[in-house]
Structure 1
């Protein structure tokens, strides 16, 4: 804009000072150039004021992220952040698992390491390891190639992909979630085009499950309904069904021909035992459910900022799994094209190595034990 202003002034200077230009001519040239400059300035100013974005209103802060932002700017030396969904040291600092640091060192010294694009479905080796992690290495559905699976942008990305798949390809209009549930579940599914309905789950009056009401709500759901289940460490209550209750839920889901969808965000982080935390999912598999699972490796591996996750759908046969996988990839391609490489590479490095896997299990167990002991101490102090 400054260049445009200077150009006519320079031209004006040359013309008004030319020997052949009369005094009256000089005045007229100056009047025209100055007028044009002012007109251009007014036009630019007017254009800038007519913003296409002025109809946008200030959105409310996210309940969790907004709390973390408020914590960051608070200068009180005694502040405590009870909203952050991440493991911290005794000093309140981020914690990196030693096995993750070792995996990073291994990859840094790997001359074949590169930063090429992954495929739409992500790192195939990572995906296979993630499936073994949640379903078990000896899982029949894995051996029979009946699982369609992709790497996702952690759990949030997997939830959105599944929601889009349900709404756009599966013809589903609704999904049932527990009351209460993780705060982001509802907007994720709503933005995918689904109507979110709730089933009764937790009774604050007794600090326990509304199990009878939960079963009643499941029995009232229309056939073919999709129902979201927290695999372990229910967020936000921390209250999970017992193995016997999971068996009853599985039975009712099977009888009602419902579609179980597990959100597995805390495997190994809940009890300190990864197979134990996958009990519900593996029980449903054993009972013959064609379920779906979304996994997050943010909490258990401490890879919060790396966005590592997976989405899997158990199908009737390998041919059906191929078709479902193709639709998953078609959903992902226009959404984010392909997932990031680094975090998945770290998880893969750990789960491919028996020693590092053992280290991970021990370190994850230590985190779970510390959280449990801190909660007990907090309860005793009340």
Structure 2
């Protein structure tokens, strides 16, 4: 079992839910390399080595877009290389699609990695969440898809999933599900939703650009290119725990100690204050 780490192997992802899920299911897990703290980007060579060296038929948890917590996604060509190696190794990719539309503003583009795996003949699983991109966080609405070899395998997997669901929640609340199905089944409502998702994504991208420019205009000695290179709701700022503490104590700006901040919380009204605070907190290392 291979699971996605938050920051390479520097620290635990215990604050995130995936580890709790595997532990409670009594599934043994290992982490693989993903984020490079120096480049603040993808550690692609180490990732590929881990995929290659994992036992054949391993289960990998992947984020298809807007990776949480790093905001770092593979390129299309890198996804193709990953998919090819998965096929060679007979690994099973399970995609956690929690932020579709938040990486590029385009729902189809954000699903490109999944399509690459399917086109290469990989069997896949995908957990799709509408909690964020439809504003239904409290409802936790989503769907689970598993691509099977044939109808017989599909029936067997479905029966197992039904047993698990029966023991966990029996039947889910219907209100949020009806909202999602209503929007997706109505062409005009779906088109409006797609446009609004794009507006949200564009706002976040615009504020990334503004935050980076503001830091550069303050003559910060640090490189802030990763702010605009990363995508999605979260920015892995590269701030140290000490710098995060300075932001909390001196400016009442709060983020996780690994430097992950929510770009959705940055606005035109507070971005200058945020940039000045980060500049002051990072002046002396």
Partner of 1:203: 36
Say whether the 8 Å CA contact 2:4–2:34 is kept in structure 1: no
Per chain length, whose mean CA-contact separation is higher, i.e. which structure has more relative contact order (CA < 8 Å, sep 6+)? 1
Question: 1:274 aligned to 2:107?
Answer: yes
Say whether the 8 Å CA contact 1:177–1:196 is kept in structure 2: no
Say whether the 8 Å CA contact 1:298–1:307 is kept in structure 2: yes
Which residues of 2 match residues 201-280 of structure 1 at below 5 A?
A: 201-280=34-113
Partner of 1:49: none
Question: 1:308 aligned to 2:135?
Answer: no
Partner of 2:280: none
Match among 151, 162, 176 for residue 329 of structure 1: 162
In the TM superposition, what is the alpha-carbon distance from 1:194 to its structure 2 partner?
Answer: 1.2
SS in structure 2 at match of 1:304: coil
SS in structure 2 at match of 1:290: coil
TM-score (norm 1): 0.53
SS in structure 1 at match of 2:212: helix
Question: 1:177 aligned to 2:10?
Answer: no
The farther-off stretch of 241-250 and 262-271 is: 262-271
| Larger radius of gyration between Structure 1 and Structure 2 | 1
Say whether the 8 Å CA contact 2:6–2:70 is kept in structure 1: no
**How many residue pairs align between the two structures?**
209
Say whether the 8 Å CA contact 1:179–1:199 is kept in structure 2: no
Say whether the 8 Å CA contact 1:179–1:200 is kept in structure 2: no
Question: 1:189 aligned to 2:22?
Answer: yes
Runs (5+) with no aligned partner, structure 1: 1-173
Q: Supply the RMSD in Å over aligned alpha carbons.
A: 1.2
Return the alpha-carbon distance in structure 2 between the equivalents of residues 179 and 318 of structure 1.
37
Return the alpha-carbon distance in structure 2 between the equivalents of residues 239 and 307 of structure 1.
24
Match among 159, 179, 182 for residue 349 of structure 1: 182
Return the alpha-carbon distance in structure 2 between the equivalents of residues 223 and 197 of structure 1.
14
TM-score (norm 2): 0.71
Partner of 1:151: none
Say whether the 8 Å CA contact 2:65–2:110 is kept in structure 1: yes
In the TM superposition, what is the alpha-carbon distance from 1:374 to its structure 2 partner?
Answer: 1.1
In the TM superposition, what is the alpha-carbon distance from 1:184 to its structure 2 partner?
Answer: 1.5
Partner of 1:362: 195
Which residues of 2 match residues 37-116 of structure 1 at below 5 A?
A: none
In the TM superposition, what is the alpha-carbon distance from 1:179 to its structure 2 partner?
Answer: 4.3
Say whether the 8 Å CA contact 1:298–1:308 is kept in structure 2: yes
Return the alpha-carbon distance in structure 2 between the equivalents of residues 303 and 346 of structure 1.
9
The farther-off stretch of 239-248 and 300-309 is: 300-309
Return the alpha-carbon distance in structure 2 between the equivalents of residues 338 and 312 of structure 1.
17
Say whether the 8 Å CA contact 1:270–1:368 is kept in structure 2: yes
Return the alpha-carbon distance in structure 2 between the equivalents of residues 193 and 338 of structure 1.
24
Return the alpha-carbon distance in structure 2 between the equivalents of residues 200 and 290 of structure 1.
23
In the TM superposition, what is the alpha-carbon distance from 1:340 to its structure 2 partner?
Answer: 1.2
Return the alpha-carbon distance in structure 1 between the equivalents of residues 210 and 175 of structure 2.
37
